[in-house]
Amino acid sequence: IIRQLLTESLLLAALGGADNVRSVEPASSRLRICVASTRAVDSAAIRKLGMRGVAVAAADCVHVIVGPAAAAAGAKLQELLVS
């Protein structure tokens, strides 16, 4: 549990921090994340966390390919955003 929380905290940082993340929506094996700026997203850092991939879907949206744990990772990210 501690390792998973650390991973989500580092993922949030790689996404540009809580101020950059507007919403997180799990979708199958990925997370659709709306951001204020995709320039603040560190794709290399996200991949180093073990995520399967990162795609900039729009000027304000990135998809992080997580795998089967996408729903759980999305829920943890949402918890971090409100805390």
Residue-wise pLDDT for 31-79, tens only, equals 999 999 999 999 999 999 989 999 999 999 999 999 998 999 899 999 9
pLDDT beyond 80 at 2 = no
- What does the pLDDT read at residue 61? 96
Q: Which residue has the higher pLDDT, 51 or 5?
A: 51
Q: For every residue of 13-64, which 3-state class applies, written as one string?
A: HHCCCCCCEEEEEEECCEEEEEECCHHHCCHHHHHHCCCCEEEEEECCEEEE
- What does the pLDDT read at residue 5? 54
